[in-house]
Structure 1
């Protein structure tokens, strides 16, 4: 059954899984927004999922999957703070350059997209039930 056509439930489910990955990366970005490290290499870098769209020729439906998760955004910010225990030998610390406003907007968009897919599944379920009731 590997080549069976995709159902609307599979399409919505895969989209919900992709949005869950997006929500998790956004949450991680927000959790690390004020992180400090001793070097630029150790500093937290914003993560973003890369989505890939696939088309099912049998049904004409498109699905989305997470292809990878990449670092994105600005480089960590170097700040002179010699009293910080994480400061390097020159007294610098590196702050994660997470744009909290952008991350919150991403989180809201992700939640809306996830909810839209829940509604697609609920509508499809209702239509199937109504169709079955016609046969009674």
Structure 2
């Protein structure tokens, strides 16, 4: 394990959670968007995470599935993992139809298609992502404090 490995793990978690916060805030901001460039209402997005290998690998990718293909000797060299964003997927939920005949996006029957986004659920997701981000910051700071103490001991 290298000197900076703990920092790499915490930083990968912070980066992944920052992406999750950005996507969740976009969902909240577009909860009432009835018309997009693609046509139709905004589609809720979700972040899909994957664990990534942060050590040296001979594999062509850094996905966790490449760890299973390695020999046990190589696996011990690559025991360190982080988290990354695998993809951002759009929800396939059907839009919520509301009767608003005066709305400019109303169909022939007077119904408007709104995204199926519950702001309460999105706020819970936002709080969870913020807490996860804060946990990674705390891990980063703890690692920094340990390294500082270690250097102080070595100086003495």
- TM-score where L is the length of structure 2: 0.76
- Give the aligned partner of residue 16 of structure 1: 14
User: Superposition pairs for residues 118-133 of structure 1, below 5 Å?
Assistant: 118-133=137-152
What is the CA–CA distance in structure 1 between the aligned matches of 2:149 and 2:103, rounded to whole Å? 65
- Regions of 4+ moved over 4 Å: none
What is the aligned residue count?
132
Say which SS state the counterpart of residue 127 (structure 2) adopts.
Answer: helix
CA contact (8 A) 1:83 1:91 kept: yes
What is the CA–CA distance in structure 1 between the aligned matches of 2:110 and 2:139, rounded to whole Å? 54
1:117 offset after TM fit, Å?
Answer: 0.5
- Give the aligned partner of residue 84 of structure 1: 103
CA contact (8 A) 1:81 1:91 kept: yes
- Give the aligned partner of residue 33 of structure 2: 35
More strand by share: 1
Gaps of 5+ in 2: 56-74
1:83 offset after TM fit, Å?
Answer: 1.2
Please provide the CA RMSD for this pair: 2.3
1:96 offset after TM fit, Å?
Answer: 1.1
What is the CA–CA distance in structure 2 between the aligned matches of 1:110 and 1:47, rounded to whole Å? 15
Gaps of 5+ in 1: none
- TM-score where L is the length of structure 1: 0.86
